[in-house]
Amino acid sequence: MKIDSPDKLNAWKEECLQKDAKLKKKVMVCFGPGCLAAGCREIYAKFEEILAERKLGDITLESFKKTGCHGLCEKGPLVVIEPEGIFYNRVRTSQVKDIVEKTLAKGEIIERLLYKNPKTKERVLKYHDIDFYKKQTRLALRNLGHIDPDNIEDYVMRDGYQSVAKVLTGMTPEEVIDEVKLSGIRGRGGGGFPAGRKWATCRGVESDVRYVICNGDEGDPGAFMDRSIMEGDPHSVLEGMIVASYAVGARDAYIYVREEYPLAVQHLYQAIDDAKEHGFLGENIMGTDFSLDIHISRGGGAFVCGESSALMKSVAGEVGEPRAKYIHSVVKGLWDKPTVLNNVETFANIPLIMNKGGDWFRSIGTEKSTGTKAFSLVGKVENTGLIEVPMGTTLREIIYDIGGGIKDGRKFKAVQTGGPSGGCLPEDKLDLPVDFDTLTKAGSMMGSGGMIVMDDHTCMVDVAKYFLKFLVDESCGKDVPCREGLYQLHKMVVKVTEGKASEADLQLMEHLSKYIIMGSLCGLGKSGPNPFLSTVRYFRDEYLAHIIDKKCPGGVCRDLIRFEINDKCTGCTACIAPCPVDAITGEKDKIHILDQEKCTKCGACYAVCQFDAIDII
Amino acid sequence: MKPEIDVAELKEIISHSPQKPSSLIAVLQDIQRKFHYLPPEAIKETSSALGVPLSQVYSVATFYSAFSLEPRGKHTCRICMGTACHIKGAPMALEQAEDQLGIKAGQTTPDLRFTLEVVNCVGACAMAPVVIIDEKYYGNVRVDKMKRYLDGVRDED
Ligand SMILES: Cc1cc2nc3c(=O)[nH]c(=O)nc-3n(C[C@H](O)[C@H](O)[C@H](O)COP(=O)(O)O)c2cc1C
Ligand code: SF4
Ligand code: FES
């Protein structure tokens, strides 16, 4: 069925709503990345198996939906039962039968599957009463967890493709661009460039062909927002791209997806097929003379290909090496044609802006950073997960109110944002509002949305080493400051972690960083020293501890630590077998002995000891 | 110990994409998916079919980490080295895996049994550190458990 007018779309939406209303109950099984890893496929299969044998009145297999990420990955696998919004967490296959027999058949709540508030120890019945969700505003993530991403009807029911109808039949491209400009939305991929201005420039360039590209490369090694959107709500990305293509006058658009995201690719293909079938893509969309095809281009696993000019080379089948910035890709991009490149989350916001207006969008967030931002909140926090908050929310609110504070009651040390180009902020920066400009000023950056919380067991020098190693591996090697500079900087940081550096080295490193920033061609090199610079700025003590005292306060750097057994040892023998080098000897009920000569400091004993009897010194 | 490559099959895979230079990455991806590596024949065939110089095919094949020029093991052990996993002890797990298998990350055991890889964030940070063997996820991995996981896979063979 082709939808070629707004009326038809509304009629279809009505139909979908009615069909949905017939489902007395809906069981949403989370298929987000975290829950997939935690085994949600088995949970779903079990539901199918039970339903095949047992009739449940109105509830049929249609009532079971595989949804995108619900957010609270920490507690997966998650099962949410609508319309009540009953939130079951850490569901095991053995408990599926109970859910069917008790909750679905009789409406009984299973207490032990409910989320437990870690502070009050009370069980929470409903989704939206959980602290984790209360402070969030979900715009880009609006449909995640509520729809089956492979079902276009689910999307249409929740106002899907309304913006396409509105824009194509009632607005000129210029009006669309003005609305996007009015909204003030800035790119969510890290740079924070105003999307409206980018679109306007592209449209203004004289050319017969223009392209729109969606950046789904998500190279930040601690982030999964874009992946969750592409997997859990692919139509929202397509819809945003259709609007953008109409605004700039593109006939073909591309989504560049990371090699490691096969499920995202699969859902996007399905979404493109369905959108085509219903006339949202292809020839004469909405009965107008606007036509568009969206193609998928799979990345080859190179971080630098997230950079705009490298990405465009990669789409064209070449080696992804960036080029100098004075040629702008909005003017000369893919195949040298004017090209708009935006991030997945940026596109996912566009339909909302079109439907509700730029004024509405800018009423959320701060003056210069409008709207919301999605983050993957991970590391040493209680509630690891996918979140979205209005810009301007403080780091403290995110980490403590939403994230539930530091895991195991430990002490906060730093929060890292911005991925390998970003930096680490200490405790006294926790009250900073999260927006593009504030984080940059503080020496970190917003980035695409990875937010990693670190506790006192983390070594900041080790963190700098980690990111630098990542960048050394990922530098495309085109220019010397980045290729050789980062390599040397990494080597020097390694020297610090080995306790072999001097204070003069630290100065040399700061000096070198300056030149890497000045001389590198693309953003990778230009922001490459950031992980070092921000840690040395806020955690200089820790560098000095390594250099002068030859100690690693975080207990991480192997050359500077020693494992010792203290008198809390009960002689339980639990650590003897795990030690790969047989460095621990002892008998039951007697304090064990650790042979420092043999110890490789792998940490196996520390991990298994239940009595805190292993000290890291 | 290189597996035999059926050139006809190779040609068939290449023919699925438009025969032009811009298909290069897509074609190599298809070949990689089928054979789990890019045999020398693949580089040659792709070069002549798409009209791309051999050197350029080789350059693309070595630039992107998705491609491997060496045959890969029957099993793949992937260790997440994303930031969340790193600060929760992934380096120790990697070291254990390297010791257990006697190879470094990115290598394959000589008997073509295991390939050891590192990956970045797989979206399961809640269970960090994460190790994935074939399709199975292992969360909250403790160093001492690596041996058991790998032995488990060996036993199944
Ligand atoms: C080394 C490097 C890696 C990047 N990786 C990504 C990425 O993974 N995803 C992304 O959306 N943008 C990434 N960017 C930013 C893009 O170049 C570009 O600015 C962005 O996709 C534009 O979209 P936006 O304006 O909607 O944010 C990267 C930039 C650099 C320099
Ligand atoms: S800065 Fe680094 S990654 Fe960017 S173009 Fe230069 S060498 Fe390549
Ligand atoms: S960092 Fe390992 S799963 Fe995210």
Cβ neighbours for A478, distance < 8 A, ≥ 6 positions apart: A321, A322, A521
Total domains in the fold of chain A: 5
Q: Is residue A2 part of a domain?
A: no
Q: What is the pLDDT of residues A320-373, one digit of tens each?
A: 999 888 889 999 999 999 999 999 999 999 999 999 999 999 999 999 999 999
Query: Is the link from the previous residue into B129 a cis peptide, with omega within 30 of 0?
Result: yes
A544 and A573 housed in the same domain: no
* In A126-261, alpha helices (H): 131-134, 152-157, 162-170, 173-183, 195-204, 225-232, 234-248
A242 and A347 housed in the same domain: yes
Length of chain A: 617
pLDDT of B105 higher than 90: yes
- pLDDT, residue B136, reads 87
Q: Residue A460 is which amino acid?
A: M
In the structure encoding, which two tokens stand for residue B13, read together?
């895979």
Q: Is residue A238 part of a domain?
A: yes
**Average model confidence (pLDDT) across chain A:** 94
- The C-alpha atoms of residue A90 and residue A430 are separated, in whole angstroms, by 31
CB burial readout A111-121, b (16+ within 10 A) else e: eebbbeeeeee
Q: Is residue A145 part of a domain?
A: no
Give the residue among A555, A594, A592, A549 at the shortest CA–CA distance from A570. Answer: A592
A288 and A396 housed in the same domain: no
Give the residue among A292, A577, A30, A460 at the shortest CA–CA distance from B123. Answer: A30
pLDDT of A258 higher than 70: yes
Give the residue among A445, A523, A425 at the shortest CA–CA distance from A188. Answer: A445
Q: What is the pLDDT of residues A289-304, one digit of tens each?
A: 999 999 999 988 899 9
Per-residue pLDDT band at A604 (split at 50, 70, 90): confident
pLDDT of A246 higher than 70: yes
- The C-alpha atoms of residue B145 and residue B128 are separated, in whole angstroms, by 14
Q: Which of residues 388-447 of A touch B (CB under 8 A)?
A: 416, 419
- pLDDT, residue A231, reads 95
- pLDDT, residue B80, reads 94
Residue bearing the bigger pLDDT, A343 or A24: A343
Boundary of a domain, candidates A506, A521, A549: A549
Q: Which domain holds residue A27?
A: 22-130
- pLDDT, residue B2, reads 60
Position of tokens 């967890």? A145
Strands A339-343 and A211-216, bridge-based pairing: parallel
Question: What's the number of CA atoms in the CB half-sphere (13 Å) around residue B132?
Answer: 21
**Average model confidence (pLDDT) across chain B:** 90
For the segment B48-71, the average pLDDT, to the nearest whole number, is 93
Position of tokens 């700098």? A464
Q: What is the DSSP letter of A365?
A: B
pLDDT of A29 higher than 60: yes
For the segment A88-95, the average pLDDT, to the nearest whole number, is 94
A493 and A528 housed in the same domain: yes
Question: What's the number of CA atoms in the CB half-sphere (13 Å) around residue B4?
Answer: 2
Third-level CATH fold of B7-63:
Arc Repressor Mutant, subunit A (1.10.10)
Per-residue pLDDT band at B3 (split at 50, 70, 90): low
3-class secondary-structure state, position A115: strand
In the structure encoding, which two tokens stand for residue A208, read together?
């017969």
User: Residue A308 CA: which ligand 1 atom is closest?
Assistant: 17
Q: What is the pLDDT of residues A541-590, one digit of tens each?
A: 999 999 999 999 999 999 999 999 999 999 999 889 888 888 999 989 99
A449 and A481 housed in the same domain: no
Report chain A residues whose CB lies below 8 A from the CB of B26.
297-298, 317
User: Residue A378 CA: which ligand 3 atom is closest?
Assistant: 4
Name all residues whose Cβ lies below 6 A of ligand 2.
A 304, 322, 475-479, 482-483, 520-522, 524-525
A175 and A311 housed in the same domain: yes
CATH number of B75-156: 3.40.30.10
Instruction: Note whether A536 and A427 are within 8 A (CB).
Output: no
- The C-alpha atoms of residue A153 and residue A151 are separated, in whole angstroms, by 5
- The C-alpha atoms of residue A563 and residue B157 are separated, in whole angstroms, by 37
Length of chain B: 157
Which residue has a Cα nearest atom 1 of ligand 3?
B82
pLDDT of A99 higher than 60: yes
- pLDDT, residue A404, reads 93
A249 and A199 housed in the same domain: yes
Radius of gyration of chain A (CA): 26
A398 and A329 housed in the same domain: no
Q: What is the pLDDT of residues A130-179, one digit of tens each?
A: 989 988 999 999 999 999 999 999 999 999 999 999 999 999 999 999 99
Distance A177 CA to ligand 2 centre (A): 32
Instruction: Note whether A290 and A165 are within 8 A (CB).
Output: no
Domain boundaries for CATH 1.10.10 within chain B: 7-63
Q: Is residue A7 part of a domain?
A: no
Instruction: Note whether A258 and A219 are within 8 A (CB).
Output: yes
pLDDT of A272 higher than 90: yes
A376 and A441 housed in the same domain: yes
pLDDT of B58 higher than 80: yes
pLDDT of B1 higher than 60: no
Per-residue pLDDT band at B6 (split at 50, 70, 90): confident
Best residue of B121, B138, B146, B149 to probe chain A, by most A CBs closer than 10 Å: B121
A162: left (phi over 0), alpha (psi -120 to 50) or beta: alpha
